[in-house]
Amino acid sequence: MTSPETAPTTGPVRGSVLIGVLSIAAGAGVIPYGASMPFIREGIPGPGLFPMMIGGLLILFGGLLILTSVLGARRERSHAARLAAIGAPVGPTAAPADAAATSSEAAAPADAAAVPSEESEDAPATASVLDTDIGSDGPRRWLNGAVLLGSIVFFVLAAEPLGFPLTMAIVVFAIVFSLRAKWWVALATGVLTSFGLWAMFELGLMVQLPDGIIQGF
């Protein structure tokens, strides 16, 4: 279910092979590390036994994954050829399967937007336009990801000197703003989230959050 039928077959195969190789590499790294751990008695392994077993299984499963994905791709190609020969309408029928695979946000919305216009007399009045879309194109996507991870690193570094409320407000502001929200929306979200969580954890759940420069709570 993870790979929709319509996807080109070479991409997933390469991905699977890469996963297999990484898995084998991890296993190969873990086994000697496990073997270097002390034994309970002569010939009876202790702490290292489980890591070594896991390492062995990682190598096994990685190898099997490479094997099956290469063989599977061959089968898939012949299946696709047969399907094309029949001329089955793959497009619309694949939609529910796609949606289940959770990877189809791009495909489903386009269909959904197109469908209501077909039966205009039945279609309910559109209430408003939804801004569910926070995606972006080009390098902006990776910038957003970097802002997200960077802001958490910033929290780890700055929470002690600056204190929780200020740091968290900055973190949330940065993330929301990077997703093209209006600056005042981002600011309001940051401040409200920060104080809401501060109240909930510090006052409600009695967790000692770092105070930093804002003292006296």
Q: Which of 119, 184, 215, 216 is the binder for another protein (CB under 8 A)?
A: 119
Question: CA-CA distance, 211 to 163, in Å (whole number)?
Answer: 4
Q: Which of 94, 170, 191, 212 is the binder for another protein (CB under 8 A)?
A: 94
Q: Among 7, 8, 49, 11, which residue's Cα sits nearest to residue 30?
A: 49
Q: Is 216 in the site for another protein (CB under 8 A)?
A: no
Q: Which of 75, 77, 79, 180 is the binder for another protein (CB under 8 A)?
A: 180
How many residues interact with another protein (rule CB under 8 A)?
103
Q: Is 155 in the site for another protein (CB under 8 A)?
A: yes
Place of tokens 């959050």: 209
Binding mask 58-87 for another protein (x = CB under 8 A): x--xx-xx--x-------------------
The torsion angle over the Cα atoms of residues 115, 118, 121 and 124, rounded to 10 degrees, is 10
SS3 state of residue 45: strand
Q: Which of 137, 213, 215, 216 is the binder for another protein (CB under 8 A)?
A: 137
Q: Among 91, 112, 114, which residue's Cα sits nearest to residue 4?
A: 91
Can you state the angle between helices 164-178 and 183-198, rounded to 10 degrees? 140
Q: Is 16 in the site for another protein (CB under 8 A)?
A: yes
Smallest distance from another protein to CB 156, Å: 5
